Structure 1
Amino acid sequence: MNCYQKEDLIKMVEDAKQLTQKGKVADYIPALGEADPSTLAVAIYSGERECIYAGNIDEVFTLQSISKVLTLALALMDRGADYVFQRVGMEPTGDPFNSISKLESSVPSKPLNPMINAGALAVTDMLVGNTIEDKLERLLNFIRQLTGNDRITYNPVVAQSEFETADLNRSLCYFMRQHGIVESNVEQLINLYTKHCAIEMNCNDLAKLGFVIGNEGRDPNSDQNIIPLEIARIVKTFMVTCGMYNASGEFAIKVGIPAKSGVSGGILGSVPHGVGIGIYGPALDDKGNSIGGLRLLELIAKQSNLSIF
C-alpha cells in the first residue's frame, strides 16, 4: 500500500468507524474506561521514512496484551526456546485470555501459550534483571530500538489502575508459583506485568514495531537484526494462532496476517516481508478485540491482498 492510496485508507477508516458504536471500552480497568469509543486510527509502515495514516494517529494508548509479543521475544533472547517452552506451551486455548480453567486441568500445570494472561505472566517472570526497574528498563530500551522512538515509556496512572484491579492475575500467579512455573514474589511480578502492559505509544510507533517483526527482526534503517530470525518467526506464529484471543481462528480466515490485540483497543499487524500496521480503536467486541480495528484490518487485507494463506 503506497502513499497515493491514502485516500482509500481514509475511506476505510470512515467505513469501519461506523461499527465503533456497537463496541464498549474496557471499563473494568478504570483508567481505560476514559477512552473515547468513537476513536479509530491506523498507520501503515513499509520500511520507508514515513508511515501513511488515517485518523488521529498522534493519540497515544497503552499496549496492554500487545506487550506479550515483546516480552516473549525478549524472554526467548534472554533464556532460549528450550527454557521458555518448558514452562509455557505452544497451543491455542479457545478460552478467554484471563481464564484459569486450563491451568487446573493441564498436566503439567503450565499455561498453554504466551498470549494468554497466565502465559504472559510466566514469560514476564523469565526476563533477566536484578530488579523490577532493571527488567522494565531493558524491555523499554528493546521497544525503543524496535520503534526508533527513544521517548517511549509507560503510563503510571494506567499501570496503577491495573495493579489495583489485578486480583485474577494474582490468582494465576499463585497457582503457577505453587506448581513451580513462576519463581518471583507475586506482588513484584504483578507490578512488572502491569507496568509493561501500560507501555504507551501511537499508531506510527506500533506500525514500525510491526514492520521489524514482519521483516525477520531486521530494522530497515540500520539493517540491524534487533530480533534474531528464528525468534521473529516464533513470535509471528503465535500472533497467527493466538494473537486475537479466542477469535484467532476466525481472524486468520477473514484477515490472515500475524496480529496481536490489546484491550486498550490497539492492534499490531506484521505482514511477513510486507508492512507493519498499527491500529487504535478502543471500542471492543465481546472477545476483547477492537471492533472497528478488526473491520479495518479486514478491509486493508482484502484490498492489498495481505493474507499469508
Structure 2
Amino acid sequence: MECQKLAYLEQIVEEIRPLTKQGKVATYIPALGHANPNTLAIAIYEGEGNCFSAGNISEKFTLQSVSKILSLALALQEHGEDYVFSKVGMEPTGDPFNSIAKLETSVPSKPLNPMINAGALAVTAMLPGKDTDEKLKNLLDFIHQLSGNSKITYNEEVAQSEFETANLNRSLCYFMKSHGVIEGDIEDLLDLYTKQCAIEVDCNDLAHMGWVLGNKGFNPITQKKVLSHDISRIVKTFMVTCGMYNDSGEFAIKVGIPAKSGVAGGILCAVPNGPGIGIYGPALDNKGNSLGGIKLLERISAERNLSIF
C-alpha cells in the first residue's frame, strides 16, 4: 500500500533537511558510503489504510541494526524467553554497539543485551532452520508477514561488503564460542548475519512493521496475528532501553517512543497502540543514529504527543 504525501510533513522534512550536513554516512561498511547524505524521508502508518509520508520516500536502504529487533522476535517465537535469555542478557550498556569490553568482564560471559552486535549475533545463531539458506528464508518470511510486503529481500552487494569487513564481529563470535554462548561454524553465522543486516526496505515497510509491533502483533493488511502480545512487549522494551545505541536514554527523554536505529540511516518506531513510523536519513551523528531522523522524531513526537512517558 502506497503512502499519501502530506504537505505539513513535507514542510517539516524540508526544515530539518539542512541539518543533515552536520552528519556523515557510514563508511566502515564500504557499500554504505555510497548513500546521499542529504536524503531524508518519513512514513507514518496509522492502520486501516491510513499512511502518510514526506521526503525521499521511494529510497530503499538496508536494515542493518534495525534487523536486531526482528531476529529477536523470531528467536523468541521459536525458542521462548527462557532459552533466548540464557544466551543473552536484558541490561542496557553505555558502551558502543560493537564493543567487546563487557564480554570480557561479565560473568557469565554472555552479551548484555540483544541490541549490541555480540547479542545480535547470539540471537541470529538461534534463528530456525537447518542451514543459512533456510534460516534466511524463515527470517524473510517473518518480515514479509510483519510488513505485508512479500517482495522484500536482501542487497547482495551490501551483504558481501559487510562480510568482507566483519573482522570485529568475527572476534566477538570466536570469543562467545569459546564460552559456549554460540555453537557451529562462525563463517556460516557471519554469512547469515551480514545478509540479515543487508535486508532492503523503504520507510513504508518500517512504518508498517512498527505498527504491528506497537499494536500487539496484529497486521491489519493481512488480518493475521503475527506476534504474541508478550513478544511485542519484550521487543518494544528493548527498543526503549537499548534501541538507539548509547544514546537511548537521551532519546527516551526527548522523543519517548520505542525505536530501533541502524547505521544505514533507518529508524523503526513502534508507538504502543499508536502509529508505526519509518525514517530514513543516512547522515549519522557520532552515536551512529540518523541525525535528521532524530530531529524529525523530536518534532513529530512533541506535536502529536506520542511519548509513552
TM-score range, shorter chain: over 0.9
2:103 is matched by which residue type in structure 1?
Answer: L
Match of 2:22 in 1: 22
CA distance in 1, matches of 2:110, 2:151: 36
Give distance in 1, aligned partners of 2:50 and 2:266. Answer: 20
Which segment drifts farther, 291-300 or 223-232?
A: 223-232
For the residue of structure 2 that corresponds to 1:195, the secondary structure is helix
Does the residue aligned with 1:190 lie in a helix, a strand or coil?
A: helix
Residue 223 of structure 1: aligned partner? 223
Partner of 1:35: 35
TM-score by length of 1: 0.98
SS at 1:96 equivalent: coil
Shift of 1:184: 2.0
- Write out aligned runs for 1:141-290 (5 A): 141-290=141-290
Q: Distance in 1 between matches of 2:4 and 2:126?
A: 45
| Count of aligned pairs | 307
Q: CA deviation at 1:18?
A: 1.6
Query: Unaligned 5+ residue runs, structure 2?
Result: none
Structure 1 position 25, deviation (Å) = 0.3
The one-letter code matched in structure 2 to 1:179 is: H
Give yes or no for the alignment of 1:107 onto 2:107.
yes
Structure 2 letter corresponding to 1:156:
E
Aligned counterparts of 1:287 and 1:107: Cα–Cα separation in 2: 27
CA distance in 2, matches of 1:108, 1:164: 30
Q: How does 1:131-146 map to 2 (within 5 A)?
A: 131-146=131-146
Letter in 2 for 1:280: Y
User: Alignment partner of 1:296: what SS?
Assistant: helix
The two structures have a TM-score, normalised by structure 2, of 0.98
Aligned partner of 1:123 in structure 2 is 123
CA–CA distance in structure 1, aligned partners of residues 281 and 238 of structure 2: 22
Shift of 1:120: 0.1
1:85 maps to what in 2? 85
CA distance in 2, matches of 1:4, 1:211: 17
The letter of the residue matching 1:48 is: E
Which digits, 9 at most, give the CA deviation of each residue in 1:145-202, with x for residues without a partner?
Answer: 1111111000000000000000000000000000000002110000000000000011
2-side partners of 1:67 and 1:248: how far apart?
A: 17
The separation in 1 between residues aligned to 2:5 and 2:57, in whole angstroms, is 17
**Which runs of 5 or more residues in structure 1 are unaligned?**
none
RMSD over equivalenced CA pairs, Å: 1.2
CA distance in 1, matches of 2:218, 2:271: 13
Deviates further, 44-53 or 284-293: 44-53
Segment of structure 1 superposing worse, 217-226 or 263-272: 217-226
